[in-house]
Amino acid sequence: MRTEAEAAGPQLEPGDFVQLPVPIIQQLYHWDCGLACSKMVLRYLGQLDDGEFEGALQELRLTRSIWTIDLAYLMSHFGVRHRFCTQTLGVDKGYKNQSFYRKHFDTEETRVNQLFAQAKSCKVLVEKCTVSVQDIQTHLAQGHVAIVLVNSGVLHCDLCSSPAKYCCFAPRGHRCFCRTPDYQGHFIVLRGYNRATSSIFYNNPAYADRMCSTSISNFEEARTSYGTDEDILFVFLDS
């Protein structure tokens, strides 16, 4: 005869399930998903002040073209301990002919490369390195969070049935997260995982009212798609 615990299935060990209380903040436009993610992280850290945030955007001269390096500078501005991992220290010239990057590429290349070059002197921690799912889970298990650049055309949520309101860099319609052959960059905030179901939990700034979840395999496909540089901004709770 089975015990009640045995009937409930395999027991999760500490660290097998993590779901952090990261607040959800919806993006306001089709281009500001990275800024919305930064607000979520700062509020989770107890450091979000709307006036100070707007002041930081002006001081850093952030416009409608937001790169991961911009978010790293934003964290540094607020004194938040961070670690930006990427495959390319600067702008990959191969992206010039991609539709997602084409409009801003020529004007942004010099600016972004300069941010990378000045990162160390500005106390922005940037590393060229490969990050594993295990690295990410270890980070989350310690109560820390991360902002990740994904291909939204690949990422799909197992919990969502209704379409997202905002489609990043595609103001022509509300068609976010539909499968498309073209790369569509989008930032999300990681907030946990479930090893038993091989799931990753995240906040998608396109929504205002839900936590999202996808399989680790789908998450890996979305974050390693050509165009993301496998960008991930680790943010630490003990800032």
Q: What CATH fold (topology level) applies to the domain 18-48+59-172+183-235?
A: Cathepsin B; Chain A (3.90.70)
Kindly state the greatest CA–CA separation across the chain: 70
What six digits make up the tokens of 95?
């992206």
The count of C-alpha atoms lying within 13 angstroms of the C-alpha of 51, restricted to the half-sphere facing its C-beta, is 0
Helix (H) or strand (E) holding 54: helix 50-60
> Which amino acid is located at 179 in the chain?
R
| Exposure b/e, 203-221, CB count within 10 A at least 16 = b | bbbbbeeebbbbebebbbb
Whole-model pTM: value is 0.85
Q: If you write DSSP's letter for every residue of 64-90 in order, what string do you get?
A: S---HHHHHHHHHHTT--EEEEES-SS
Give every CB contact of residue 77 below 8 A, 6+ residues apart in sequence.
56, 59, 60
Helix (H) or strand (E) holding 163: none
Determine the Cα–Cα distance for residues 232 and 85; give it in Å rounded to an integer.
5
| pLDDT higher than threshold 60 for residue 12 | no
Q: pLDDT category, 239, cuts 50, 70, 90? A: low
How does pLDDT run across 50-104, given as a tens digit for each residue? Answer: 999 999 999 999 988 899 999 999 999 999 999 999 999 888 665 556 655 556 6
How does pLDDT run across 133-181, given as a tens digit for each residue? Answer: 999 999 999 999 999 999 998 999 998 866 665 555 443 333 444 445 5
The count of C-alpha atoms lying within 13 angstroms of the C-alpha of 49, restricted to the half-sphere facing its C-beta, is 6
The count of C-alpha atoms lying within 13 angstroms of the C-alpha of 163, restricted to the half-sphere facing its C-beta, is 11
